[in-house]
Amino acid sequence: MASYNVKPSKPFAVFGALVGVAMLVFVFTKGVGQDSGFLWLWAAVCVGIVGFNLWAAFSKQGSSEVVEKRNAE
């Protein structure tokens, strides 16, 4: 069974990272949920989005999924 790594295109991954940064800036400037843990949950998710997209864009092994091809028997 052969497997292939599937990477997003570099421009799309960088765009995803920029969207994550924009979301992070928005939540800190608007102060959405400052009185609760929602702000920190939102920030953690945004940091994860940015990190994953930058890893997918610039790492040699930055694949976002693996596709397995089964041999016909």
- The 10s digit of each residue's pLDDT in 12-45 is 889 999 999 999 898 888 776 677 788 888 889 9
pTM above 0.85, yes or no: no
Q: How many domains does the chain have?
A: 1
Establish if 63 belongs to a structural domain: yes
| DSSP category for residue 33 | T
Percent of the chain with pLDDT over 70: 82
Judge contact between 53 and 13, C-beta under 8 A: yes
What's the one-letter identity of residue 3? S
Domain that holds residue 15: 2-67
pLDDT band at 73 (very low <50, low <70, confident <90, very high): low
Distances (CA, A) of 67 to 2, 47, 53, 63, 71: 8, 27, 19, 10, 13
Establish if 36 belongs to a structural domain: yes
Establish if 73 belongs to a structural domain: no
Mean pLDDT of 44-49: 92
* Mean predicted lDDT score pLDDT of the chain: 81
Q: What is the pLDDT of residue 15?
A: 93
Establish if 72 belongs to a structural domain: no
